[in-house]
Structure 1
Amino acid sequence: MILEGTILRGRDFDPVEGRVVAEDGEITGIEETAVDSDAIVCPAFVNAHTHIGDSIAKEAGEGLTLEELVAPPDGLKHRLLRAASTEELVAGMRRTISFMEGAGTGAFVEFREGGVDGVRAIDTALADSPVRSVVLGRETVAAMEQADGFGASGANDDEFGAERRATRQAGKLFGIHAGEVDASDINPALDLDPDFLVHMVHAADIHLDRVADSDVPVVVCPRSNLSTGVGRPPIEALAERTTVALGTDNVMLNSPSMFREMAVTEMISDLSAREVLRMATVNGAEIAGLDCGVIEPGRPARLFSLDGDTDNLAGAQNPVRALVRRAGVDDVDRVVLPDT
């Protein structure tokens, strides 16, 4: 497999003209040479926080508060999930996974509602898809045992000590929502020694210091937070202290497009386009324990290319900035997601 064009190489996404050469799903070389191609070759995205079960309810609940929309157990999302059949849930998730693949997303981290049945449903939806998933079961230890770890809703919803201990004993991933509505659940979440936190919109200096001391990664979801009106996460302050990745959160609220997430993040923050692209690729991979998100020899060849000659991208002078601020799903030319 060979992809030609301007290659965004390594963790710094240095633009190099040439070819990416891969064999058996692994990048074997990056050849710097003149090529007749306008393509921009990019590492596949890692969407570090999703809830794709609510793909059945896109744009539902206009005017509701965050708690009314998604708070367990009786927020609108949870009521709709309970009312839907397994077949409806699986069909909706399959369409979202297909969209993510076409939009250059090679992996995602899913907080999966519905206990063991919810984990089994997404496993069915993922059958035959080249998109990788890290599925974190919710609600029960049994769901964690069926999945890749446990995804907690928030420390104000439950104590989660037993779930944390069981997840640690199983050697699996434990993530928890924190600081989305207010700051009251941040310290209790940190007390659980999680593998990562999600949101942290209302993190104050004391919380940021704890994050830095504990070296706990954070996944931010700016579009979701703006959609629900809870505020803007302190992205810059978090990035100064720990690894920060991007997620698109509920499909009910936003499309799972990392292009849109990057564009909003870059525009509302003081971070560079390179920093934002890192949040959308290798940072999420590292939080999830995946070996992807960067174009280097020896890495899995999970890539996509943009057609640099579309009406949208033609004339772009800075490929990294163009990818982060301007590119969209319609500019994707080819997605390569080998089963490795």
Structure 2
Amino acid sequence: MILEGTVLRGRDFEPVEGRVVVEDGTVVDVEEATVDSTDIVLPAFVNAHTHIGDSIAKEAGAGLSLDELVAPPDGLKHRLLRQASAEEMIAAMRRSLQYMQAGGQAAFVEFREGGVDGVDAIRRALDGLDVEGVVLGRETPEAMEAADGFGASGARDGDFDAVRNATREANKLFGIHAGERDPDDINPALDLVPDFLVHMVHPEPLHLERVADSEIPVVVCPRSNLVTGVGVPPLRELLDRTTVALGTDNVMLNSPSMFREMEFATKLTDASAREVLRMATVNGAEIADLNCGLVEPSRDAKLLVLDGDSDNLSGVHDPVRAVVRRAGHADVKRVVL
């Protein structure tokens, strides 16, 4: 397979005119050449934090606080999840997953409620789709054992030492929410030495120093933080200290669109377009230990082709800024997964 156009090559997303050569699902070469194509070829996205089960409750709970919406065990989200049948949940999740795949997402990291049954449900929803789910179970050690790791709600919600140790022994991924509504749960979360933190809206200087020293990655979800009114994560401070990835968080609150998440991230903060595109691709891939996220030889050929001659993108001078700040689902020409 050969894809031609403007290729956003390597970790710096250098725009080069040419072609991407793919063999057996792997990028084998990026050739600079004069080609007759206005397409933009870039790595497919990795959505580093999702709650896809919320697909049954889109835009529910207007005006509620963060705790009233999502705090376990009796936030609105958790009550609605308990009320829904397994088949209703699976059908709703599949619709969101189809939307994510069509929008160029190669993979996502899911904090999956519902114990072992919840892990099984999202795997059933994924059946036959090409988007890859890195599923982190919640609530019980058995869910971790059935999943790709464990996604903890937050250090204030319980003692996660045992499940953290079990996750480490199983060589699986452990992520935890921290610093979403205040800084109080950040130090306890860092004490667990997680594989990554989620949100970090309210880090204090000590927390930033600890993150830098430990090199623990952070996943930010700016749109979700705006909806729940907790603030905007300090992207510059985080980017200067560690790996930062991008997630769309609860489908209840926002569409699982990486295009929209990138636009918000770059327009609300001083993060550059290249930094934000890195957050949406290779940084998330590295957190999840996936071999995608860049267009370069030896990477998995999980690629996104945008129509550079669409009414939205025609006349663009800077393709990287265009991808991050203005592109959308309507510009997607092809997804290679």
Task: State the TM-score, normalizing by the size of structure 1.
Answer: 0.99
**Paired letter, 1:282:** V
Q: Percent identity?
A: 72
Query: What residue is the counterpart of 1:211 in the other structure?
Result: 211
1:298 Cα deviation after fit:
1.1
Query: What residue is the counterpart of 2:129 in the other structure?
Result: 129
1:2 Cα deviation after fit:
1.1
Query: What residue is the counterpart of 1:2 in the other structure?
Result: 2
1:120 equivalenced with 2:120 (yes/no): yes
Query: What residue is the counterpart of 1:290 in the other structure?
Result: 290
Measure, in 2, the Cα distance between the counterparts of 1:275 and 1:29: 24
Question: Over residues 51-73 of structure 1, what are the superposed CA-to-partner deviations in whole Å (9 max), with x where a residue is unaligned?
Answer: 00010110000000000000000
1:332 equivalenced with 2:336 (yes/no): no
Query: What residue is the counterpart of 1:258 in the other structure?
Result: 258
Query: What residue is the counterpart of 2:147 in the other structure?
Result: 147
Secondary structure of 1:335's counterpart equals strand
Query: What residue is the counterpart of 2:78 in the other structure?
Result: 78
1:221 Cα deviation after fit:
0.3
Query: What residue is the counterpart of 2:30 in the other structure?
Result: 30
1:159 Cα deviation after fit:
1.2
Query: What residue is the counterpart of 2:222 in the other structure?
Result: 222
Secondary structure of 1:117's counterpart equals helix
Measure, in 2, the Cα distance between the counterparts of 1:72 and 1:131: 28
1:177 Cα deviation after fit:
0.1
Measure, in 2, the Cα distance between the counterparts of 1:334 and 1:171: 35
Q: How does 1:1-340 map to 2 (within 5 A)?
A: 1-337=1-337
1:28 Cα deviation after fit:
1.3
Runs (4+) of structure 1 exceeding 2 A deviation are: none
Question: Over residues 261-312 of structure 1, what are the superposed CA-to-partner deviations in whole Å (9 max), with x where a residue is unaligned?
Answer: 0000001111110000000000000011111000001111100100011111
Measure, in 2, the Cα distance between the counterparts of 1:88 and 1:3: 39
Measure, in 2, the Cα distance between the counterparts of 1:208 and 1:27: 37
**Paired letter, 1:90:** I
Question: Over residues 236-274 of structure 1, what are the superposed CA-to-partner deviations in whole Å (9 max), with x where a residue is unaligned?
Answer: 100000000000000000001000000000011111100
Q: Tell me, which stretches of 5 or more residues in structure 2 are unaligned? A: none
Measure, in 2, the Cα distance between the counterparts of 1:97 and 1:141: 26
**Paired letter, 1:190:** L
1:133 Cα deviation after fit:
1.2
1:207 Cα deviation after fit:
0.4
**Paired letter, 1:21:** V
Q: How many pairs are equivalent? A: 337
**Paired letter, 1:139:** E
1:94 Cα deviation after fit:
0.6
**Paired letter, 1:102:** A
Secondary structure of 1:197's counterpart equals strand
Measure, in 1, the Cα distance between the counterparts of 2:200 and 2:109: 17
Question: Over residues 142-189 of structure 1, what are the superposed CA-to-partner deviations in whole Å (9 max), with x where a residue is unaligned?
Answer: 000000000000000001111101101111000000000111100000
Measure, in 2, the Cα distance between the counterparts of 1:90 and 1:197: 27
Q: Tell me, which stretches of 5 or more residues in structure 1 are unaligned? A: none
Question: Over residues 198-239 of structure 1, what are the superposed CA-to-partner deviations in whole Å (9 max), with x where a residue is unaligned?
Answer: 000010111000101111000000000011100111111000
Secondary structure of 2:262's counterpart equals helix
1:102 Cα deviation after fit:
0.6
**Paired letter, 1:261:** E
Measure, in 2, the Cα distance between the counterparts of 1:213 and 1:23: 40
**Paired letter, 1:45:** F
1:329 Cα deviation after fit:
0.4
Measure, in 2, the Cα distance between the counterparts of 1:216 and 1:159: 20
Measure, in 1, the Cα distance between the counterparts of 2:336 and 2:214: 36
**Paired letter, 1:320:** V
Q: RMSD in angstroms over aligned alpha carbons?
A: 0.5
1:129 Cα deviation after fit:
1.0
1:23 Cα deviation after fit:
1.0
Measure, in 2, the Cα distance between the counterparts of 1:148 and 1:122: 12
**Paired letter, 2:277:** L
**Paired letter, 1:152:** A
Task: State the TM-score, normalizing by the size of structure 2.
Answer: 0.99
